[in-house]
Amino acid sequence: MPDNALFQTRFSCREFGPEPVPAPVIDALLDAARWAPSAGNVQATRFVVVTRREARERLAEAAFGQRFLAEAPVIFVVCALPEVSARQYGERGRELYCIQDAAAAAENMLLSATLHGLGSCWVGAFRERDVAKALGLQRGWRPVALLPVGRARRGPSQRCRLPLSTLTLRVD
């Protein structure tokens, strides 16, 4: 694969086909998440795998009616464990590291989905309380990202990025 092709191939998919994602592929995405870096290797991230239609509907509602969530055959809910990070790193663990850990895991999962030829999207706009309720999450699990995954019904519309010169400050 040429340089950066994987990153350029991933896109936010918002139209999914109904075919289920095979169990070994679901496991491969979870395994990719497991290998993400985490502060002090504390691994304060947990994953909920949601395939039940009714639960997907509730997640779509919790995400302010983003319907494509319910259409994806599987939604991964990436959760941070703030108090586990706080035990090691205090406030910085609670407020920052556990979220960064979850974000790193989530990105690995999106890239793994891309490698498997699947569409995916990072959904961050949702009411945390409603997600927790819909899934019966135990206290201490803070949902950070919803990741619908499935067959992409169509490719990306044009994707654009700021030029490196805008994004970068070089300190030589």
Q: Which is nearer to ligand FMN, 9 or 27 (CB)?
A: 9
Measured CA to CA, the distance from residue 63 to residue 126 in angstroms comes to 4
Q: Which is nearer to ligand FMN, 75 or 123 (CB)?
A: 123
55: exposed, middle or buried (Cβ count in 10 Å: 0-12, 13-18, 19+): middle
* CB-nearest residue to ligand FMN: 124
For residue 144, give the 3-state DSSP assignment: strand
Residue ranges in contact with ligand FMN by CB under 6 A: 11-12, 14, 66, 121-125, 156, 159
Q: Which is nearer to ligand FMN, 160 or 171 (CB)?
A: 160
HSE on the CB side for 31, CA within 13 Å? 6
Measured CA to CA, the distance from residue 61 to residue 126 in angstroms comes to 8
What is the closest distance, in whole angstroms, from the C-beta atom of residue 60 to ligand FMN in the complex? 11
What is the closest distance, in whole angstroms, from the C-beta atom of residue 11 to ligand FMN in the complex? 4
What is the closest distance, in whole angstroms, from the C-beta atom of residue 10 to ligand FMN in the complex? 7
